[in-house]
Amino acid sequence: MPSHQALSAELHNSRFMKAVRREPVDTTPLWIMRQAGRYLPEYMAVRNKVTFMELCKTPELACEVTVTAQQVLGVDAAILFADLLPILEPMGIDLEYLKGEGPVIHNPLRQGKDVDRLQALQSMESVDYVFQAVRMIRSALPANIPLLGFAGAPFTLASYCIEGGGSKNYIHTKSMMYNDPGAWHELMTRLVDTVSLYLKAQIQAGCQAVQMFDSWAGCLSPSDYRRYVLPYTKRLIEAVITDAPVINFLTGNPALLPLQKEAGGSVMGLDWRIDLQDAWKIFGYDVAVQGNMDPVSLYADLPVLRQRAADVLNAAERRPGHIFNLGHGVMPDMNPNHVKALVEIVHELGAR
Ligand code: CP3
């Protein structure tokens, strides 16, 4: 058994932590990816005064938006307000968030030889603002609400470093992977080493569990995932799971589910491209599952939204170990009342 950090009784007995351990719960716990985002007026009130990067790097503000989102929604867990990419800055990446366009990297690693520009971090001092935020959030949250930390999975971070931003076909990433396996190994190793320190430090500062986002791994075939990604993701999860439960979230390709399970994690994070019932059968019932309502369902009229949430709950068959979530992040133009309604619906219909 992993030697997890001791939890307070309130956190240990929280709905979310019980579901992670696949123990019975009074009702299905839920949280929502991007729950502290632009669809929330409370977030925009803070965000309108600072840039996105300033928000990430100011612990008081990151704490405020994290705690407020949990409170106004009534969700069963909070997720640290931060982003996937700022950890890359001290490693040598020149990162900027452009208005309306998202993250851009000005010095992408396009050639194998560029990988030397990305240095593994020996200490977490340069991202101390994240751990300051974690400590503040932990002491501001209700005693029975777990705080989730997170980081990008090695493949998703590597593709950001190589492509320099979003990508449709991942041509640069796959070219390096296929043509220069030595450089690929070096890049992935530096990311695994740095991200495992980063997640362990988040746990040390007060997170009860962490989610690893492999948002882009779905572009890979199962054989390429097995060869170029699985060994690294597996090593990362093994290093972190001794400290706290890990949610392994991957999107875009249900053919990867058996390999996602093989990579490890206490909870498998699912997108909506497969029915939860089928996915859980593939994973096996010895692991918890998080998901997986299509985020676009939140645009539906409330009676339809209710039915769609019920469909996901029914697919989970009231097995212990289901954490309700969307299959991906909530969209920025969402009506916050629909998100609040979803929380009530899941708690009502999930009641045992
Ligand atoms: O879930 C949460 O509420 C916690 C905070 C969080 C953010 N980003 C805040 C954010 C988390 C967990 C992330 C993870 C993240 N960041 C991912 C993985 C999740 C996924 O969607 O698969 C990725 C790919 C990123 C990178 C990123 N950050 C992009 C592509 C963008 C721009 C796109 C967009 O939605 O605007 C961001 C910016 C970002 N990260 C915002 C927020 C609230 C919007 C920034 C703003 O306020 O202007």
Average pLDDT value for residue range 19-29: 98
Q: Give the range of the structural domain holding residue 163, as residue numbers without chain letter.
A: 9-350
Contact 327, 251 (CB under 8 A): yes
How far apart are the CA of 103 and the centre of ligand 1, in A?
Answer: 9
Residues 6+ apart with CB under 8 A from 225: 217, 256, 259
SS3 label, residue 323 = strand
Residue nearest to atom 37 of ligand 1 (CA): 102
Whether 138 is catalytic: no
**Interval 47-95: pLDDT, tens:** 999 999 999 999 999 999 999 999 999 999 999 999 999 999 999 999 9
Q: What percent of the chain has pLDDT over 90?
A: 97
Give which of 267, 236, 277, 284 is closest to 21, Cα–Cα: 267
Which of 84, 199, 207 best tests ligand 1's pocket when mutated (most atoms within 8 Å of CB)?
84
Which one of the listed residues 39, 160, 198, 232 is annotated catalytic? 160
User: Which two structure tokens, joined as six digits, stand for 265?
Assistant: 């994690």
Q: Which of 33-42, 92-101, 234-243, 262-271 has the lowest mean pLDDT?
A: 92-101
Which one of the listed residues 22, 47, 235, 306 is annotated catalytic? 47
Is residue 307 in some structural domain? yes
Mean of pLDDT over the chain: 97
Is residue 256 in some structural domain? yes
Instruction: Return the amino acid letter for 121.
Output: L
SS3 label, residue 322 = strand
Q: CATH number for the domain including 24?
A: 3.20.20.210
Is residue 4 in some structural domain? no
Q: What is the pLDDT of residue 46?
A: 98
SS3 label, residue 145 = coil
**How are beta strands 78-79 and 102-105 bridged, if at all?**
unpaired
Is residue 112 in some structural domain? yes
Q: What is the pLDDT of residue 1?
A: 44
What total number of domains does the chain contain? Answer: 1
Residue nearest to atom 33 of ligand 1 (CA): 102
SS3 label, residue 184 = helix
pLDDT band at 101; cut points 50, 70, 90: confident
CA distances from 49 to 42, 52, 54, 55 (A): 12, 10, 10, 9
* pTM score: 0.97
Average pLDDT value for residue range 271-291: 98
How far apart are the CA of 229 and the centre of ligand 1, in A?
Answer: 22
Average pLDDT value for residue range 226-240: 98
Average pLDDT value for residue range 87-104: 95
Q: What is the pLDDT of residue 6?
A: 85
